[in-house]
Amino acid sequence: MKRFVPFSAVHTASLGAIAVAAFAMVAPTLCAHAADPGGEQGEARRERKAGNILSIRQIEQLVLPRMGAMQYLGPEYDPAAMAYRLKFIQNGKVFFVDVDARTGRVIGQSR
């Protein structure tokens, strides 16, 4: 005699298997994010606390006065280059200024 398994039990088992498979696919991504909490901003914070780079406020004090009437849009930090990229706009054109985060020296500009 065959044993009858209700649909809900089969359905629940299938959902459990799908959930385990989905987690297995996502787990490496979760581990990568846990290894680098805060992303670029977190990296900048750690480097700043270690005394390896200037703060974004110090960088802005050096660069913003040189940019005249351009509107400042904000910074990004590149941990690999240890550089800040400051973004500006004027007359509909976007400009970038790359600054060495260790020294505050402008290392590049794009228009």
**What pLDDT does residue 11 have?**
52
What values do phi and psi take at 51, rounded to 5? 80, 15
The two structure tokens encoding residue 110: 């794009």
Nearest residue to 98 via CA among 80, 83, 88: 83
pLDDT in tens, 42-74: 888 898 899 889 999 999 999 999 999 999 999
pLDDT: is 53 or 9 the higher one? 53
The whole-model pTM stands at: 0.63
